[in-house]
Copies of this chain bind each other. A is one copy, B any other.
């Protein structure tokens, strides 16, 4: 049985390794808001348990087992987010913190029921894929908005690193999943984009924003 604590480490490890490839102690420490020595000692413990490969001074890597465990927690998190939005009427920017807590609930039948009531969703409210029951997680081959060209017509399919503030920003610009937009121009100086969609004739999106929006063409 893994403790709440270990679960948080696992999840952070998977999230960070998805985003940046490898994970180092510093990042994990920052992400979890736990000092580095504590992280090191937890990594040793988790290495014993077979969740991570740990070697002094080397980057951290999850084992296959660890990846699976982590994905199953992320599955619970994302199913919960979807349930909160679809069945309870929360907005997409409200659900993260609640799901953060519910994801640690141990009752499999609870999540199975959510899954069923939601008719086995493949994505959460932010467009992130929900790992399957075996802990398999596949990202669709979407591209970042920042990688697109002027003239491209794209559809928003997912949001990465979705903090509450970021989602509220998107709300304020009426940007949501499924929205189609046309790229008008890219400012070479700061890589910000001017885009057109719905009744927004020329909205400017910073590079930071464009980095975090995934689209399909």
Q: List chain A positions with a Cβ less than 8 A from chain B.
A: 84, 87-90, 94, 97-98, 101-102, 104-107, 109-110, 113-114, 117
Contacts and interface: CB of A to CB of B under 8 A. Distances in A.
B89 A98 contact: no
Contacts of A94: 109
21 contacts: A84-B110, A87-B87, A88-B113, A88-B114, A88-B117, A89-B113, A89-B117, A90-B109, A90-B113, A94-B109, A97-B107, A98-B105, A98-B107, A98-B109, A98-B110, A101-B104, A101-B105, A101-B106, A101-B107, A102-B102, A102-B105
A81 to B, nearest CB: 12
How many copies of the polypeptide does the oligomer hold?
2
Nearest to A94: B109
Contacts of A88: 113-114, 117
A100 to B, nearest CB: 9
A109 B98 CA distance: 9
A96 B84 CA distance: 21
Nearest to A100: B107
Nearest to A106: B101
